[in-house]
Structure 1
C-alpha cells in the first residue's frame, strides 16, 4: 500500500485499529497476561523478544488479516523486528493493515490534574526512522485525571504542537489525550477537552489532518461532531481499562468512533494455546470489536 491507499484505508475502512504498542514499563504485565512469567526471561532483550513473539503470532494469525483490522500501532522495537521474514511494517501492509508507531517517551509527573508527555528528545530521529520503515502515522499519549481547565488546555496544546512536527515529517499523527475513566469529574472534564480539541482543530492549516484517540466518553455521543470535522481523518477509542464486553457496549453508543484496543483485543490470548485455540479466541475478539466499531 502506498500513502494514498493507506489514507483511504484508514479514512473509510470498516474495522478497527489494533494497539500493539506496549513499551518497556507495561511489557512485563502484558507478558504475564499472556502466560509468560517473569522467571521466563532475563533483561530487556529477552523481555522484548518474548513480547515480539506474541505480537508476531497475532499478526500472522489468519483472522488478523480478515479485513476487520485496518491498522496497528507498534512499539519501536516491534517496528524494528521481523515477522515471517519481513519487516513488521511490510508484514502488516501485506495483510491490508496500516502501520503506526508510538513516538512518546512516557509521561511526566502529574501537575494541574494531568500528565503531560515527557520531552521527546528522540522524536526527530524516530520520525526519520519511521518514514524509512514505511510507517503511515504515529501515536502519542497524555493522561487527564481531573477537570482542571488549565491542565487540559496544556495537554491539548502539547499534543497539537508535536503533531505539527509529525505532519511536517510526512506522517499522520494520532493525538491521544486519554481521560482516566475512574475520574469522578470525567463528564465535566470531557466537555472541556472537547472545546480545547475543537479550538486546535479549527486552527490547523487547510490541507492538514490529524487523528484522535479518545477515552470512550461518559456522555454517549459527546465526540460525534469531532469525527465529522474536516481536519480529522478518523477518530478512534481506547478501551481505557474497560473489559472487552464493556468497552464494546459503550463504543457502540458513540457514532463516529471506531476501536483502537489493546487489552480488549489481547486479554484472552495465552502462550500455551494451540494455534487453533489461539486463532479462535483472537478471531472472536476481532469480530466483537469490529462489530462495535460499525
Structure 2
C-alpha cells in the first residue's frame, strides 16, 4: 500500500498548532536578560527587587510553536531556517507567573523553490509571528508574499556597537531553543555553516538594548519589533546597530487610544560590514 501524498505547503494555512501554558519565574527572566547582553549593572533587568522583564522574553516561551509545525512534517527541520520575525506587545510581562498561548499557521507564501510558513503565537501579552523559510516546499501555486523592505535613505541618525560573547549561544539555548546547530559543530556544518551560530532572536533582542537608548526609552518599554535575518552571527562577533528615526505616519499605539505615545526606529544590524538583520523596525513607548 502506497503512503498517502504529502500535503502541499499551502494546505497548512490555518492549521491549529495547539495551546500551551508556560510557567516562569524571576530567575528565568534574569537569565534571559543576561543572555541577550544585559550587564550586571543593569539592575532593573538583572536584580529581582527592581526587575522589569524584557518583552522579547515571551519569544523564548513560545518557541514550542514553530518547533511543533516542523514536528508535524510541514518542512524538513534540517534545512528550514528562521527567515524573519514580527512581534507586537499588548501588555507587559509580569516578573513571574504563567503565560497561556495559542498557536496556528497564518499565511504560507510560495517563493518558487521554497515556501515561507508564518507561525503565529497569541497570548495576553503579545502577538508573535515566525517566518520559516523551507527549501523545496515551494511551487504550489500560492502568492509570493510581501517583498523585502527597502533600506532607509540617508545616513543613520544613531549607531552603537553590540558585542556578542563567545558563550552567548550556549547560554541562550538554555531558554528553550535547543536546536543542535547552535552548540554542536557537526550539526552546524550539516546546516551549511562553519560552526555553531547565534540564534537570530538573540542577536535581534540584543540590538533592542542600544536601540532603546537611542529612542530615549527603556528596553522593557518595547512595543513592537520586526526584522529579517540576512546572515548568520557567530558567538563573539562584534556587531553594529544603525538606526534611523522613522518619518511619516506612525502606527496606532498598542493598547488603545489612552496608551503612551511611541517612538519608532528603522534599523539594521551589521556584522563584518554586511547586514545580519535587515528591514528592522523597533517601537518603544516613551
TM-score (structure 1 length as normaliser): 0.26
More helix by share: 1
More strand by share: 2
TM-score (structure 2 length as normaliser): 0.26
